[in-house]
């Protein structure tokens, strides 16, 4: 679903246990005892680019909680400029951005000298086979269709390579 939160649940102690999000009509449920950060396989620099601020900020918070260094941009142009300055190991990029679509942005990133070595992930509501094929052609390494669980993203990040700095 385009525009939905990218997470279907919050991790409990960042394990495979999950705490589902409620709806506005559902009474608030107490969270489990403190969410404690798990050690990532390695600390990565991650850039999240999504025009849905709630989704981007939620993603940023969960990734920081799991030990990664995270920056967030809410437009394609800001994402490109921030990536140029931040030099992330991994970039999580929404396809349906208002100013430039994620496919064009991925192509532009791959064309820059600093964009060759990063892991580029489409994190989007667009999940048809044609969307996945187009993402691959634009230079994405991975395609994740929202909603995505924290465990799916964590597995992907554990396989990502830090850039040589």
Query: H-helix or E-strand containing 144?
Result: strand 142-145
Q: What is the pLDDT of residues 12-40, one digit of tens each?
A: 444 444 434 344 454 555 444 444 445 54
Per CATH, the number for 44-159 is: 3.40.50.2300
Q: Give Cβ neighbours of residue 62 (< 8 Å, ≥ 6 apart).
A: 7, 10, 11, 150
Q: What is the pLDDT of residues 80-94, one digit of tens each?
A: 999 999 999 999 999
Q: Tokens standing for 152?
A: 């799916």
**DSSP calls for 69-108:** EEEEESSHHHHHHHHHHH--SEEEE-S--SSS-HHHHHHH
Provide the pairing of β-strand 18-20 with 90-93. unpaired
Average the pLDDT over 130-159 and give the result: 94
- For residues 139 and 114, what is the distance between their CA atoms, to the nearest angstrom? 14
Q: What is the pLDDT of residues 102-141, one digit of tens each?
A: 999 999 999 999 998 899 999 999 899 999 999 999 999 9
Note the pLDDT of residue 22. 41
As beta bridge partners, residue 144 has: 123
| Per-domain boundaries in the chain | 44-159
Instruction: Report the predicted TM-score, pTM, of the whole model to 2 decimal places.
Output: 0.76
């Amino acid at each position: 679903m385009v525009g939905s939160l990218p997470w279907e649940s919050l991790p409990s102690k960042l394990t495979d246990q999950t705490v589902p999000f409620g709806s506005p009509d559902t009474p608030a449920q107490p969270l489990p005892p403190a969410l404690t950060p798990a050690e990532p396989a390695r600390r990565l620099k991650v850039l999240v680019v999504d025009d849905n601020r709630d989704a981007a900020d939620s993603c940023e918070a969960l990734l920081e909680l799991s030990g990664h260094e995270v920056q967030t941009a809410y437009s394609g142009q800001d994402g490109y400029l921030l990536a140029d300055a931040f030099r992330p190991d991994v970039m999580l990029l929404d396809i349906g951005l208002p100013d430039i679509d994620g496919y064009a942005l991925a192509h532009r990133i791959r064309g820059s000298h600093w964009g060759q070595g990063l892991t580029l992930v489409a994190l989007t509501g667009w999940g048809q086979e044609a969307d996945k094929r187009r993402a691959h052609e634009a230079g994405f390494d991975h395609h994740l269709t929202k909603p995505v669980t924290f465990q799916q993203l964590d597995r992907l990040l554990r396989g990502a390579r830090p850039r040589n700095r």
